[in-house]
Amino acid sequence: MTMTSVVDSEDLYLWHEGTQYQCYHFLGSHLEERSGQRGVHFAVWAPNAKQVNVTGSFNGWDGSGHPMSRQEGVWTLFIPELTEGTLYKYEVITEQGDCYLKSDPMAFHSELRPGTASIVTSLEGYEWEDEDWQANKSNQLQQQPLLIYEVHLGSWKRKEDGGFYTYVELADELIDYVRYRGYTHIEIMPLGEHPLDASWGYQVTGYFSVTSRFGSPKDFMYFVDRCHQQGIGVIMDWVPAHFCKDEHGLARFDGTPLYEYADIQKSENLTWGTSVFDFGKPEVLSFLITNALFWMDVYHVDGLRVDAVSSLLTLNFDERKEVRITNEYGGDENLEGIAFLQKLNAVVFARYPNALMIAEDSSSFPGVTSPVANGGLGFNYKWDLGYTWRTLEYEKKSEEERSAGEDQITQSLLNIWDEQFILPFSHDEMANESKSLLGKMSGKDAWQRFANLRVLYMFTMGHPGKKLTFMGNEFGQMDDWNWDDSLEWQLLDYEEHQQFAHFVTQMNHFYKSKPALWKQDYKPLGFEWIGTDDQSDGIVTFYRKTGDEENEQLVIVCNFKSVAQEGYRLGISMPGRYREIFNSDNSEFGGSGVGNASELNTEEWFCQNRPNSMVVNMPPLAAVIFEYIPSKG
């Protein structure tokens, strides 16, 4: 026996208007009681279907006995006696008489691949214990330290038999590791259900279904809860730009282009082999913005790194397109994609003012982190991919080549106020045979390569902007990242990797302890060039300051050459006493041990356009940080 079921008319009105931001409450499958009977209510949007039936393990995968009723393009049905764990799909019959078996776009859980069925699942009943974390979250994010550890859960660590660690097991191992190493946040590569491991999660079929590779929805709740209890924030990569074409997914869901554009020039990303969401369709906006909020509402995720933003900003992002298209004004801008991003951020911040909304954007589009009210996209952070590309290209060069290209390492310091940047060394820099970060470093031997990576990390730490590092880089992964295997944990059996991991750990904790390194990341008063008289000597120097009553001032000196410089004269703005407080060349980090042991005093000696200066020892391929010592009394 089945029962007719209806959806609230106000919910449907908002859904069709593009302003229904909690549609997962009425679409999908929900355990309910109707007329005294327990069962499951099903609802799915398929406006162009001739008929939709529910099929599953309970009816031998024959949906003919469970037809759904249509209500304003949404098909509904209540089936008594079904319980949690029931496998199901929608049997979508098109106007042409074709029949498709589709997974539920709003399913909360899905079969482990290669299975593709949706699973009736309740998200109720988990008892959260992250009240302190939630109460102490601040919307003054720009004035807080942010050290992000980017993780692919399937390859951070594998079991001896090659199997995955579960969310619960990762909660015991990964969180403690991240906290010990000094990171503030974990960023997890996409967790929406996806059929192909090799896509890394970036080609999604189940936007509301946390992947079953690592456990159940409540297992993932436990993971996030434990992160928060240990003081670690959680960011998730989110993929609103495109979706995969697998037959059971969103593509041509009701026999027509429903979630994707109908215009073939706009509906496909040929490079990625995916379908592009129709950002001009109100129901798609409701679907996507609801999904963004869903991960925060249900799983307490602290923010989203929005993938492939640049593909949403232009109509001609796909390089394989043979015909260029324009908008209604004759321009290249994707007006619907831009409007979607603005709406997304406005809605998210209205509900979660302390959310992290991070744009992974390789374009030069202006105002990515400017408020929507000012015409910007409304993100609060943007990945500075230009910084990543330029610094790594510089680090690949021999020392002779570096002399003519020092602007590659310093150029980013000229436009640091353009956006609120995160400086990322992400999975993209370690995948597809591009070599690991350590593998990219130039050097005559292993010592120089490790030293080069240490000075790059220190320069990045001192550079304005928040920080992100992909897993494995913290201990000097040697090979490219392999998504189908564990990280090279065996490297920690070797002294040079132990020392490098110790360096990263100490650097991270040092960074968090010094407000001058993060409090004014996005204000000019937090940074001051010192510069050099010689633009080819490989030495880059600058101040980081709190710019407040604390008056914390740090002098950061980076030597990108392998020759130590004893007696290097450094121009100083504020005369007085200074002391060395961090040195990447310390012997405990695997360095040569060149440093400055005692307090240093400035002299009235004009240098680097400053009336005062002091003499320091600069280690080879290293960075040194000096701290100003306020006068007593």
Residue type, 7: V
Q: Return d(Cα 508, Cα 485) in angstroms, integer.
A: 27
Q: Domains of the chain, with CATH numbers?
A: 9-119 (2.60.40.10), 524-629 (2.60.40.1180)
Measuring CA to CA, which residue among 434, 432, 436, 426 is closest to residue 477?
436
Pairing state between β 303-306 and 356-359: parallel
Residue 208 backbone zone (phi > 0: left; psi -120 to 50: alpha; other: beta): alpha
Cβ pair 66, 3 in contact under 8 A = no
> Which 3 state secondary structure label does DSSP give 324?
coil
Residue 432 backbone zone (phi > 0: left; psi -120 to 50: alpha; other: beta): left
CA angle 482/381/456 to nearest 5° reads 55
Cβ pair 182, 79 in contact under 8 A = no
The pLDDT value given to residue 470: 98
Q: Where are the beta strands (DSSP E) in 87-160?
A: 87-93, 99-102, 118-119, 147-151
Residue 10 backbone zone (phi > 0: left; psi -120 to 50: alpha; other: beta): alpha
CA atoms within 13 A on the CB side of 243: 26
The pLDDT value given to residue 403: 77
Catalytic residues: 307, 360
Low-confidence ranges of the chain (pLDDT < 50): none
Cβ pair 193, 210 in contact under 8 A = yes
pTM of the model: 0.96
Place of tokens 């010689």: 534
| 3-state percent helix, strand, coil for the chain, nearest multiple of 5 | 30, 25, 45
DSSP state of 465: S
> Which 3 state secondary structure label does DSSP give 223?
helix
Q: Retrieve residue 39's tokens.
A: 């069962």
Cβ pair 174, 232 in contact under 8 A = no
SS3 per residue for 32-57: EEECCEEEEEEEEECCCCCEEEEEEC
Q: Retrieve residue 151's tokens.
A: 């993780």
Measuring CA to CA, which residue among 336, 337, 331, 386 is closest to residue 362?
386
Q: Which residues contact 259 (CB under 8 A, 6 or more apart)?
A: 105, 243, 250, 251, 253, 275, 277, 278, 281, 284, 287
Q: Retrieve residue 239's tokens.
A: 């993929």
Q: Which residues contact 619 (CB under 8 A, 6 or more apart)?
A: 559, 564, 583, 584, 585, 591, 592, 593, 594, 595
Measuring CA to CA, which residue among 533, 543, 598, 535 is closest to residue 572?
543
The pLDDT value given to residue 24: 97
Q: Retrieve residue 505's tokens.
A: 């750990």
Cβ pair 294, 287 in contact under 8 A = no
CA dihedral 308, 313, 315, 321 (to 10 degrees): -30
Question: Which run of H or E residues covers position 305?
Answer: strand 303-306
C-alpha distances out from residue 167 to 110, 150, 219, 234, Å: 16, 16, 6, 13
Cβ pair 518, 145 in contact under 8 A = yes
Q: Which residues pair with 423 in a beta bridge?
A: 467
Q: Return d(Cα 408, Cα 401) in angstroms, integer.
A: 11
- Alpha helix locations (H) across 298-351? 310-313, 335-351
Could you report the per-residue pLDDT of 300-354, keeping only the tens digit for each? 999 999 999 999 999 998 777 778 899 999 999 999 999 999 999 999 999 999 9
Could you report the per-residue pLDDT of 559-587, keeping only the tens digit for each? 999 999 999 999 998 899 999 999 999 99
The pLDDT value given to residue 535: 60
